[in-house]
Amino acid sequence: RPRSGPLPTHLFPSAAALADAGARGLAGLGFTQRRIDTIIGVAQAVSSGDLDLEAAHSLDDTVAQLCQLEGIGPWSAHLIAMRVFSHDDAFPASDLGLRRAVEHLTGQPCNPRELQARAESWRPYRSWAAQHLWNAAAGSHRRLRSNYPPD
């Protein structure tokens, strides 16, 4: 919905508005039907109070609660825990970008189990480590695409 004043000029719709929009409201936005169903399901859970975005739960409880929702697995749950609930220790170990960043930095292949084990030493700030890894991956990608040598 429009908002006056400096940027941003629009606010994200409320959970109730997303739930009410249904599949028709999200059609044409480039989402798969499965993703649309997940977005609507999460919006319904928030608007009904089944998922409380304001509650302070442990990371394990947050991830478990999110994984009960249709279409939300551990990767999505950890990203939501990180970005919505501000859990400092959330860590989506199956994230391809994180694995590629570690592979780039170490020169060794890294599967999700190995990344999870490596990340244990980063507790209780694995979310911060993830952000640094994503930034490192973005930087290495830019360097590969440019004509300039790395810093």
Answer for the pair 40, 18: CB distance below 8 angstroms, yes or no. Answer: yes
What is the tens place of the pLDDT at every residue in 4-54? Answer: 666 767 778 899 999 999 888 998 889 999 999 999 999 999 999 999 888
Higher pLDDT residue, 122 or 4?
122
Global confidence as pTM: 0.79
- What pLDDT, on a 0 to 100 scale, did the predictor assign at position 148? 46
Q: Quick one: pLDDT band at residue 142, thresholds 50, 70, 90?
A: low
**What digits encode the pLDDT tens for the residues 74-118?**
999 999 999 989 999 999 999 999 999 999 999 999 999 999 999
Burial 123-148 (b: 16+ CB within 10 A, else e): eeebbebbeebeebbeeeeeeeeeee
**Mind giving me the DSSP string for 72-109?**
--HHHHHHHHHHTS--TT---TT-HHHHHHHHHHHSS-
Highest-scoring range by mean pLDDT, 124-128, 133-137, 145-149? 124-128
- Provide the residue ranges of all domains of the chain, joining segments of one domain with +: 1-51, 96-145
Average pLDDT over residues 55-68: 91
- Contact indicator for 43, 37 with CB cutoff of 8 Å: no
Backbone angles phi, psi at 10, to 5 degrees: -135, 145
